[in-house]
Structure 1
């Protein structure tokens, strides 16, 4: 199968059509499977919960692997069609832009509602500056999670790599909370997500360097709050020159972010996406990883 052709068709699909319907979206299936298994386990203590959570993660990952190998069981052109669809489902370029663009509004309540759709924090008491910050932070973090990382693992391991990454990222989003219910049940998923994002998060920072130069490195050195997620946020803060803050967790310096800065962040987003898409296409064209391609 021509891996470059699969990538280019998946990219075209994403840019023209955006997200697939939820009913047939593999990431939704990963979430439903994890949710079903989660609901069936009554919490029984630290070790049993950790082992049960690890088993849930393994089951979802096996499901992702099984999906990724389906195209290789089909004849032309069905194998190409399914491979393109599955790869497209592993990343989200257009829809991320659309979600963040909805937060650009002068109506504070409308902004609050739009931001609440893309962040996990409570937006009820956030002022306008922190709402704008949350929007830009979400864009920067999801640039890594929804674009850079899945394509990084596609580049290395083909379709199985991209889908397994999305499965792990979905598990972390659903189970990776530090609260009474998920502290141990979700720990395996959270740590696995940390491992898989370690290189992509720092690769994302490198992609910001042509846009922000030395300032990106200065902000990167300040990013000591999280293992991975604060690194792309620090880089975005450096490039657009605004403070980005999650109260009580991290803060990067700059002036207060505005609606105009969200729009500037979206322009930066597209420049970084373009850099990465070109790099991935060139590496696939040159067959840098021929033994790992699907």
Structure 2
């Protein structure tokens, strides 16, 4: 029951207040530790870079796990307060909606600016349809990364599981690139993120089935471009009936995505979030998961 109370309070925080201040956000701390170590390491070759990158990831993970255990050493009610704060920091429902909603505009320059804040690709030459696609893709991918997966690992391993996942996902977002600088330094982080997202990405697809039925499964079989990230995108594409495309990387079939489809995608997003929150609440109430207790 303790884990249920912590989750309910963290959920209320997220929906009513959104994200903690940037300077006090644990995910920002994870990024700064990774960025500091990345900046200090001068590239020396494949094996040294891989080992240095792995050590960087392990240090950030150790920091995250240490944070997750702090509530165990605090008296009531400080233990609950810190547990709620840390759990809330591992997922982001409201802020994801807010970021995506900013891309719903008829002003192409404003749309391009808003989309550039949520994707890593170069958006300056994207037309309106591909900007709409990028927004919907980001929503679908981050539904897994920012909601489904952290709470999945909270169910399995409690607060340490949620922060472990968030730390890995953060360092992968910073270091997991296939370029000269990060090809080897970020490989450990990228592969670990792939492992952690394997089940949640497919679980996310299942949560779309009440909205899309067999279309979701048919689109899932088209998702052969990435290990995990394209799976939730395929499901969103199926439910909305629009094409989603990153030129030269992947494309899911459908009609041209419009502004109204971003609005529809947000409705789909909240339906899936509600499904998942209901499942999490049910499992916590039943006490069937080995959840951490403060």
TM range (shorter): over 0.9
Q: Does 1:41 align with 2:36?
A: no
- Is 2:233 aligned against 1:233? yes
The corresponding residue for 1:56 is: 56
Flag structure 1 segments of 5+ consecutive residues without an equivalent.
none
Measure how far apart 1:122 and its partner are.
0.4
Match of 1:207 in 2: 207
Q: Report the Cα distance in structure 2 between the residues aligned to 1:218 and 1:276, rounded to whole angstroms.
A: 22
Q: 1:293 matched to which residue of 2?
A: 292
Distance 1:39 1:275 in 2: 41
**C-alpha distance in 2 between matches for 1:238 and 1:166:** 28
Aligned equivalent of 1:122: 122
Aligned match of 2:186: 186
Tell me the distance in 2 between the aligned counterparts of 1:27 and 1:293. Answer: 20
Residue 93 of structure 2 aligns with which residue? 93
**Partner Cα separation in structure 2 for residue 244 and residue 55 of structure 1:** 36
Partners of 1:175 and 1:289 lie apart in 2 by 32
Shift of 1:293: 3.0
After superposition, give the CA deviation of every residue in 1:207-244 in whole Å (9 maximum; x if it has no partner): 00001000000000000000000000000000011000
TM value normalised by structure 2? 0.99
Deviation per residue, 1:14-64 (Å, 9 max, x gap): 000011111000000000000001111000000000000000000000000
Match of 1:65 in 2: 65
Q: Does 1:12 align with 2:12?
A: yes
Pairwise CA distance, 1:276? 0.1
Q: Which residue of 2 aligns with 1:159?
A: 159
Task: Name the SS of the counterpart of 1:222 in structure 2.
Answer: coil
Residues in 2 aligned to 1:81 and 1:254: alpha-carbon distance in whole angstroms: 46
Q: How far apart in 1 are the matches of 2:265 and 2:237? A: 9
Distance in 2, Cα, partners of 1:250 & 1:274? 29
With the length of structure 1 as denominator, give the TM-score of the two structures.
0.99
Cα displacement string for residues 176-227 of structure 1 (whole angstroms, at most 9, x for unaligned residues): 0000000000000000000000000000000000010000000000000000
Structure 1 equivalent of residue 282 of structure 2: 282
Structure 2 match to 1:133: 133
Q: For residues 241 and 155 of structure 1, what CA distance do their matches in structure 2 show?
A: 33
Structure 1: distance between partners of 2:64 and 2:19: 18
- Equivalent in the alignment of 2:255: 255
Distance 1:98 1:105 in 2: 13
Query: Partners of 2:114 and 2:207 in 1: how far apart?
Result: 28
Cα drift, residue 289 of structure 1 = 1.5
- Hey, what does 2:175 align to over in structure 1? 175
Within 1, Cα distance between the matches of 2:24 and 2:14? 15
Cα RMSD (Å) of the superposition? 0.7
The number of equivalent residue pairs is 293
* Cα separation, 2, equivalents of 1:249 and 1:219: 16
